[in-house]
Structure 1
Amino acid sequence: MRPVSRQRAGRSAAGVALALGGSAIGVLAWSRLAGRHRQPLPLALPGRHERIDTRRAGVISLYSSTEAKGVPLLLIHSINAAANAYEVRPLYLHLRSRRPVYALELPGFGFSERSRRRYTPRLMVEAIHAAVDTIRQRHGAIAVDALALSLSASFLARASLERSDAYRSLALISPTGFDKQLSGEGPPDGHRGRDWLLDLLDRPPFGRPLFDALASRPSMRFFLQKTFGSSEIDEGLMAYDHISAHQPGAEHAPYCFIAGHLFPTDTTRLYERLRLPVWMIHGERGDFVDYRHVPLVAGRSNWRIETLPTGAFPHFERPGTVTAAYEAFLASITRSPGD
């Protein structure tokens, strides 16, 4: 009986190997045929668009609309598999008639450089520094207001702590880092990256095909529904995200995100150190509703915290409510000479 068992085991192992090999070949073929990695990416926002070559962050993408007068505002999208400036579109469209507005695309996303490299919080902070330097050079070195979504809120917090004179106020929409899993008082300027996982994921020939599967329409819809906490997602965002995620090099930054390299180790400590006026708003629906550590800052005079019965992107669901609340916050802080 033993030789028969070994024979069957050998056949089973061979069958599994053939199935895996066939699946791998299928994924590669599907990626080449369906990935459409060279589909033109339209601009996410109206106004001026430029790509700026920076010394520490590579080439970054910056949108702007500067016809109105006032304190410049910088908007920063979140971090996910398909992040880009479209995520701040409702805010950009509303506020550009009231003040100069800029929208940064962080390294690895949108029209910014998408080379294969380590994407870390430090790289993102350097990109924010470069964008703010550019904005201030164009507006008489005035301190800017800045707003960031989700995980990027921690990058903005660190950037403002390093150059506090460059900022008048901060706004954080659904900021990561007040929850149980990603709050942190670990080593300063560190990250949670696992190099072995990144090396496993971001490796040819299967790195790109696997990412194409992750960034398929069904998968992206699933994750957007978790973000919105509802099946009622923004279809314009969904369509743009899909195109953006199928550009050459689109997999590199998301793989760093998945492997943990973009998650700071000291987020809680960053928020606690903020002394600038801070406006924070978040939703109460979906997968991103753990704000158990908010009491650490909620009682401070420089923080204003609001909630809405929405998902993690309240500015898409209730744009008028969000912009009105943000403008009320801005009106309440000390006005600068250029206001």
Structure 2
Amino acid sequence: MQGVRFAQAGRKEHVVYITIGKIISNPPVLYYCIRGGTTSMKYVVNAFVGTLRSIVRLLGLSAMAAFIVAGAVALRHMLETPQPLESLLPGEAHLYRWQHGHIFYKLAGKPDAPPLLLLHTPELAASAYEMRGIMTLLAADFRVYAPDLLGFGLSDRPDIDYSADVYTQLCRDFLSQVVRQPATIVASRLSCNYAVAVAATSPGLCERLALISPVALFGDQPEETRLARVLTAGLLEAGPVKSLLYPSLVEIPRVMARLGIGLEKPQMTSATASSNDAPFDYIYATTHQFGAEHASMALLAGKLVRDVSREIEKVQQPTLIIWGAGDLERTRHIADQHSTFWGAQQTQMSLLQGAGRAVHEDLPEIVVKTLLQWSEGGISQVLQAASVSESADASGVNGATHRAKEPPASIETAHSAPHIEAYCMKCKKKTVMLNAHEITMKNGRTAVQGVCAECGASLMRMGRLVPGYPQTPV
């Protein structure tokens, strides 16, 4: 509050205490202040200056408080690091001595089975544990390799310049020096970029390519986003910022636990970790390791994203893309941007209902069923919708009715062939209907029901199916 004096003609001088906000928002008051002369203007200026000083003082106190809290969190994180960490994946434990450190991996399956490499996505608290749901099932038919990427899990976490090129080279070296024969690569999310780069540049190492939720596959970023990442990369990887920011990020589960939202303080031991507690325990333990912040902060700085928009057009291996219907909603433009790849005869897609980005964690049995059918040449459609409910089993992957001997179709031929179209409320346009079948409504009328080929939402339109054309309505 500042005292602002102004005089009115024929009256005594009064002192009116008003705030800066009232001066600005009240034109008559501001007018009288200005008419009051130099003295009045002086008080107005002093009021502004005083308010600005108060704001700066409050900001300084807030910054100091935030710094103290972050320092306390970092100190507690340091005192609780390292935590005992043990792999919960099945199979034999092995170490691969790479140029930047030791790479831990699990190996499962018969020695004479075809090799398959599982690549988890690099993210905060990431590790090959992400593949726990599908590894055991795949080991029945494949020789499965599941490494922890450098900087994650039980692999070394050196303080190096982490980048997408580092992980691409790691995948290439692991295949050539450990697997030592062409393998099927099953990659998740950001690791799909590394898998595509390896398949395009070293085709002799990759026999087949399966991409799970490849949301970062195309690096079509605006120039403003790229510039912002370049400017923030150095700041995020600076020593003091890294030491304070990373502990704050990984301590969020503890804060949630104290608020009654998450778990209580976990104790990671293989003997006491139940199946329900294990994910939380493992996340807590893997984030409390020496050097865990290096790769995670490089990820936040955008250094682990690789633009493979050119390399992907060179991929010749049979490729399967598995999407969760909930995740495909925000990435429908991908097919239009890279129609050459998506429409290629060797590329097939499977759209699974009831799953989001982590489709292999949400529906592991169905994902494995899809992979096995694809490896045997059994998937014959570009998009395949699996209707999933609580009572569904692994056979739900065949929820879409397809002709058994229909040849693989590209996106172009799929749209030019006879098909059903219906208006999708979610997409707000007409889309192709998959898994079309006739139903009888309560009023006795016949309708055609199915799912949207783009977002997986339920579709329905009045009419019947034309005899001989099971996907074409009258």
> Which bin holds the TM-score, normalised by the shorter protein?
0.7 to 0.9
The alignment's TM-score, normalised by the length of structure 2, stands at: 0.59
Which residue type is aligned with residue 371 of structure 2?
Y
Matched, 1:38 2:82: yes
2:185 maps to 146
> Aligned ranges for residues 85-96 of structure 1 at < 5 Å?
85-96=128-139
Q: What is the CA–CA distance in structure 2 between the aligned matches of 1:212 and 1:261, rounded to whole Å? A: 20
CA contact (8 A) 1:107 1:113 kept: yes
User: Please, which runs of 5 or more residues in structure 2 have no aligned partner?
Assistant: 1-42, 257-275, 379-474
* SS of alignment partner, residue 285 of structure 1: helix
Which residue type is aligned with residue 357 of structure 2?
A
1:303 offset after TM fit, Å?
0.9
Q: What is the CA–CA distance in structure 2 between the aligned matches of 1:100 and 1:215, rounded to whole Å? A: 34
1:29 maps to 72
CA contact (8 A) 1:178 1:292 kept: no
2:242 maps to 207
1:315 maps to 360
Q: What is the CA–CA distance in structure 2 between the aligned matches of 1:61 and 1:149, rounded to whole Å? A: 18
* SS of alignment partner, residue 255 of structure 1: helix
The size of the alignment, in residue pairs, is 309
**Alignment deviations for residues 96-132 of structure 1 (CA, whole Å, 9 cap, x no partner):** 1322110122222112232222221110011101211
> Aligned ranges for residues 5-16 of structure 1 at < 5 Å?
6=49, 9-16=52-59
Q: What is the CA–CA distance in structure 1 between the aligned matches of 2:210 and 2:178, rounded to whole Å? A: 17
Which residue type is aligned with residue 253 of structure 1?
A
1:236 offset after TM fit, Å?
4.3
- Out of 227, 242, 250, the position equivalent to 2:284 is 242
- Percent identity of the aligned residues? 23
Q: What is the CA–CA distance in structure 2 between the aligned matches of 1:220 and 1:133, rounded to whole Å? A: 44
CA contact (8 A) 1:193 1:256 kept: no
* SS of alignment partner, residue 205 of structure 1: helix
Q: Aligned pair in 2 of structure 1 residues 13, 119: CA closer, same or farther (>3 Å)? A: same
CA contact (8 A) 1:68 1:97 kept: no
Structure 1's consecutive aligned runs of 4 or more residues displaced over 6 angstroms after TM superposition are none
* SS of alignment partner, residue 83 of structure 2: coil
1:4 offset after TM fit, Å?
6.6
Matched, 1:269 2:273: no
CA contact (8 A) 1:154 1:270 kept: no
- Out of 320, 325, 328, the position equivalent to 2:370 is 325
**Alignment deviations for residues 237-265 of structure 1 (CA, whole Å, 9 cap, x no partner):** 44422321222221211221121111123
Q: What is the CA–CA distance in structure 2 between the aligned matches of 1:91 and 1:98, rounded to whole Å? A: 12
CA contact (8 A) 1:220 1:238 kept: no
> Aligned ranges for residues 72-111 of structure 1 at < 5 Å?
72-111=115-154
**Alignment deviations for residues 272-325 of structure 1 (CA, whole Å, 9 cap, x no partner):** 211001111011215874142225123211111111121011122211111111
1:153 offset after TM fit, Å?
0.5
Q: What is the CA–CA distance in structure 1 between the aligned matches of 2:255 and 2:303, rounded to whole Å? A: 21
CA contact (8 A) 2:213 2:327 kept: no
1:68 offset after TM fit, Å?
5.1
1:60 maps to 103
1:70 maps to 113
Which residue type is aligned with residue 87 of structure 1?
E
- Out of 281, 295, 299, the position equivalent to 2:322 is 281
Q: What is the CA–CA distance in structure 2 between the aligned matches of 1:119 and 1:204, rounded to whole Å? A: 15
Q: Aligned pair in 2 of structure 1 residues 156, 40: CA closer, same or farther (>3 Å)? A: same
CA contact (8 A) 2:107 2:143 kept: yes
CA contact (8 A) 1:91 1:323 kept: yes
2:156 maps to 113
Q: Aligned pair in 2 of structure 1 residues 16, 183: CA closer, same or farther (>3 Å)? A: closer
Q: What is the CA–CA distance in structure 1 between the aligned matches of 2:351 and 2:59, rounded to whole Å? A: 51
Which piece of structure 1 moves more, 46-55 or 10-19? 10-19
* SS of alignment partner, residue 125 of structure 1: helix
Q: Aligned pair in 2 of structure 1 residues 178, 113: CA closer, same or farther (>3 Å)? A: closer
Q: What is the CA–CA distance in structure 2 between the aligned matches of 1:120 and 1:66, rounded to whole Å? A: 32
1:227 maps to none
1:82 offset after TM fit, Å?
1.8
1:219 offset after TM fit, Å?
9.6
1:157 maps to 196
1:170 maps to 209
Which residue type is aligned with residue 281 of structure 1?
I
2:302 maps to 260
2:178 maps to 135
1:52 offset after TM fit, Å?
2.0
CA contact (8 A) 1:71 1:100 kept: yes
Which residue type is aligned with residue 305 of structure 1?
M
CA contact (8 A) 1:72 1:99 kept: yes
Q: What is the CA–CA distance in structure 2 between the aligned matches of 1:185 and 1:157, rounded to whole Å? A: 22
1:69 offset after TM fit, Å?
3.0
CA contact (8 A) 2:120 2:148 kept: yes
Q: What is the CA–CA distance in structure 2 between the aligned matches of 1:219 and 1:269, rounded to whole Å? A: 43
CA contact (8 A) 1:288 1:312 kept: no
**Alignment deviations for residues 23-55 of structure 1 (CA, whole Å, 9 cap, x no partner):** 212211122225632111221412222332223
Aligned-residue RMSD, C-alpha: 2.9
The alignment's TM-score, normalised by the length of structure 1, stands at: 0.81
1:178 offset after TM fit, Å?
5.3
Q: Aligned pair in 2 of structure 1 residues 41, 96: CA closer, same or farther (>3 Å)? A: same
Q: What is the CA–CA distance in structure 1 between the aligned matches of 2:221 and 2:237, rounded to whole Å? A: 27
Q: What is the CA–CA distance in structure 2 between the aligned matches of 1:245 and 1:220, rounded to whole Å? A: 15
Q: What is the CA–CA distance in structure 2 between the aligned matches of 1:282 and 1:13, rounded to whole Å? A: 49
Matched, 1:305 2:349: yes
Q: What is the CA–CA distance in structure 2 between the aligned matches of 1:95 and 1:262, rounded to whole Å? A: 28
Q: What is the CA–CA distance in structure 1 between the aligned matches of 2:227 and 2:101, rounded to whole Å? A: 23
